[in-house]
């Protein structure tokens, strides 16, 4: 066999194969396609903030790296998903947990759950609550509010859970030019934002905030007041 350095360079094709050794010590061919799938499914590329899971509908088969919905068939529409049980261990990592991230960083925020191999198969949700599973403290139960998406969760497939960047840190600014005791604000943020009021004299005002719903709130003062409200 000639020295490796004597072989010509080539472009990489999805059907190409690499020669290597498997974990058992046997010499094998590994296709570029299968290597690519491995990195996508296992999250082995090391993308920060991306957590991969294998979906299973069989509650008796869930373990580290799995997410689960008790479903009656092998597929469930993303639009039908309202709860999701996820392991505190992500796919490919049986030592480190993401429990602090689950309990501190995603509540009240939007996430996208997407097929690792078919990105157009996804669901976008608002995470309304995260609690430790009552039957197994290695899992957390997510309560989800569906917003949009396409396709289904399929038993045995791999999915990434990622904070949906297009929906984070939404804010709204409201100006009240004419003095009034009550300001009605239609912010349409789809959440209950924090509110800071800056009065017309430049000072920070004190007021009672009432959230009518996730898109409207009122700001009440003891006297007629003008200024600007900042919602975040």
Distance CA 161, CA 52 (A): 6
Closest by CA to 219, choosing from 194, 191, 188, 200, is: 194
Same domain, 115 and 183: no
Helix (H) or strand (E) holding 186, with range, is strand 172-186
Same domain, 76 and 120: yes
Domain that holds residue 210: 172-231
Q: Which two structure tokens, joined as six digits, stand for 204?
A: 């920070």
Same domain, 54 and 136: yes
Same domain, 54 and 134: yes
Q: Is 13 helix (H, G, I), strand (E, B) or coil?
A: coil
Same domain, 144 and 179: no
**Which CATH number does the domain housing residue 153 bear?**
2.40.30
Distance CA 177, CA 173 (A): 13
Same domain, 116 and 208: no
The CA radius of gyration of the chain, in Å to the nearest whole number, is: 25
Same domain, 149 and 124: yes
For residue 89, which phi and psi values (nearest 5 degrees)? -105, 130
Q: Is 155 helix (H, G, I), strand (E, B) or coil?
A: coil
Closest by CA to 69, choosing from 81, 61, 79, 60, is: 81
- pLDDT of res. 71: 65
Q: Which of 167, 189, 207 is the last residue of a domain?
A: 167
Q: Report yes or no on 197 lying in a domain.
A: yes
Q: Which of 167, 196, 215 is the last residue of a domain?
A: 167
Same domain, 140 and 104: yes
Contact 195, 206 (CB under 8 A): no
Contact 111, 167 (CB under 8 A): no
DSSP assignment of 58-98 equals -GGG--TTEEE---SSSEEEGGG--EEEEESS-TT-SS---
Q: What angle do CA 176, 178, 184 make, to 5 degrees?
A: 45
Q: Report yes or no on 180 lying in a domain.
A: yes
Same domain, 76 and 149: yes
Same domain, 111 and 153: yes
Same domain, 92 and 201: no
- pLDDT of res. 206: 86
Q: Into how many domains does the chain fold?
A: 2
Distance CA 230, CA 162 (A): 27
Same domain, 118 and 158: yes
Per-residue pLDDT of the chain (232 residues; tens, 9 = 90+): 667 777 777 777 777 787 788 888 888 887 867 766 666 566 545 555 688 999 998 777 788 889 998 766 789 999 999 999 999 998 888 888 999 989 988 888 889 999 988 889 999 999 999 999 998 999 999 999 999 999 999 999 999 998 876 555 578 899 999 999 999 999 888 888 888 899 998 888 888 999 999 889 999 998 999 999 998 8
Q: Which of 148, 167, 186 is the last residue of a domain?
A: 167
Q: Report yes or no on 163 lying in a domain.
A: yes
């Amino acid at each position: 066999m000639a020295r490796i350095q004597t072989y010509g360079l080539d472009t990489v094709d999805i059907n190409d194969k690499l020669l290597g050794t498997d974990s058992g010590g046997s010499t094998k061919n590994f296709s570029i396609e299968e290597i690519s799938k491995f990195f996508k499914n296992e999250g082995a590329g090391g993308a920060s903030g991306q957590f991969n899971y294998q979906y299973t509908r069989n509650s008796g088969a869930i373990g580290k790296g799995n997410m689960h919905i008790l479903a009656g068939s092998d597929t469930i529409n993303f639009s039908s998903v309202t709860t999701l049980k996820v392991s505190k261990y992500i796919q490919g990592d049986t030592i480190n947990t993401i429990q602090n991230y689950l309990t501190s960083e995603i509540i009240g925020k939007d996430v996208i759950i997407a097929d690792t191999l078919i990105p157009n198969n996804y669901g976008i949700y608002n995470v309304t609550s995260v609690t430790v599973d009552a039957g197994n403290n290695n899992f957390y139960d997510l309560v989800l509010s569906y917003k949009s998406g396409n396709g289904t969760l399929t038993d045995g497939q791999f999915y990434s859970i990622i904070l949906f960047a297009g929906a984070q840190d939404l804010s709204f600014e409201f100006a009240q030019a004419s003095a009034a005791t009550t300001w009605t604000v239609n912010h349409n943020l789809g959440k209950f934002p924090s509110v800071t009021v800056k009065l017309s004299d430049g000072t920070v005002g004190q007021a009672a905030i009432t959230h009518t719903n996730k898109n409207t709130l009122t700001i009440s003062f003891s006297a007629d007041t003008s200024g600007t409200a900042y919602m975040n």
